[in-house]
């Protein structure tokens, strides 16, 4: 019987990262989802970019859907938990806290690779509704609840004009999400926009329209 005699100093195809961590797989998957879309990304693509075999990939994740769930649970929800803790520990005004939430989101999400996820969801949720539902329940509603809680507290403490917290939370978040989607879609065809100025102006508009200022008589909108 004859065996194939491999040279000892010649590494196998997958030797470079045969012990790739799940975090590296998720990083590779998010890059591919961003570049190619969820539907066009294959498990083999993820394995190749992560530097592992397809068989090894399946030891960690049984499907693309499972990988996407893990991307959200391991890369997004921990950030939401940090923000929830920030809100709980904050001792300043609600206006300061709301500004901090917006700027924190911009720093931790919009300026990172995670900013591609909103555009990805809009593009893919029609063909993969279960992913859209998962994202809304796991991320969107939880994040919106944070903003709504701060707005509600500001109203109750007579710091903010009286508004519906849930609706206003949607309005506060909408330009932030739109900015992230634009950056991964129409930006290449549009006039250049200073996104730091964009988010700073958004904060100013929110403060001027929501915070009660001394000497000003605001009429609440029902």
Q: Which neighbouring-strand residues pair with 160?
A: 211
Q: How many other C-beta atoms can be found within 10 angstroms of the C-beta atom of residue 212?
A: 16
- Among residues 154, 152, 146, the alpha carbon closest in space to that of 165 is found at 152
Q: 222: helix, coil or strand?
A: coil
Asked if the model's pLDDT at residue 51 lies above 50, the reply is yes
Map out the domains of the chain with their CATH numbers.
Answer: 12-62 (1.10.10.60), 65-210 (1.10.357)
Confidence at 19, pLDDT banded by 50, 70, 90: low
pLDDT tens for 68-112 read 999 999 999 999 999 999 999 999 999 999 999 999 999 999 889
Distance from the Cα of residue 129 to its chain's centroid: 18
Alpha-carbon distance of 177 to 180, in angstroms, equals 5
Alpha-carbon distance of 39 to 135, in angstroms, equals 16
- Between residues 32 and 215, the one the model is more confident about: 32
As a whole-number percent, the residues of the chain with pLDDT over 90 amount to 79
- The dihedrals phi and psi of 104, each to the nearest 5 degrees, come to -65, -45
Q: How many other C-beta atoms can be found within 10 angstroms of the C-beta atom of residue 61?
A: 19
Q: What is the mean pLDDT of the chain?
A: 88
């Amino acid at each position: 019987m004859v065996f194939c005699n491999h040279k000892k100093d010649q590494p196998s195809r997958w030797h470079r990262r045969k012990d790739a961590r799940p975090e590296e797989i998720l990083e590779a998957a998010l890059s591919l989802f961003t570049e190619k879309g969820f539907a066009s990304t294959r498990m083999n693509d993820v394995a190749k970019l992560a530097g592992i075999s397809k068989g090894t990939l399946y030891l960690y994740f049984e499907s693309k859907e499972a990988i996407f769930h893990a991307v959200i649970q391991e890369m997004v929800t921990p950030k939401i938990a940090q923000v929830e803790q920030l809100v709980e520990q904050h001792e300043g005004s609600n206006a300061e806290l709301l500004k901090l939430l917006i700027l924190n989101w911009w720093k931790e999400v919009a300026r990172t690779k995670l900013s591609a996820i909103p555009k990805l969801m809009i593009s893919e949720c029609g063909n993969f509704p279960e992913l859209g539902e998962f994202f809304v329940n796991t991320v969107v509603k939880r994040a919106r609840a944070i903003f709504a809680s701060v707005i509600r507290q500001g109203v109750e403490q007579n710091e903010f004009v009286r508004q519906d917290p849930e609706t206003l939370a949607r309005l506060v978040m909408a330009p932030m999400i739109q900015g992230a989607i634009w950056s991964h879609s129409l930006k290449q065809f549009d006039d250049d926009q200073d996104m730091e100025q964009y988010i700073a102006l958004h904060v100013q508009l929110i403060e001027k329209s929501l915070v009660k200022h001394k000497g000003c008589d605001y009429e609440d909108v029902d």
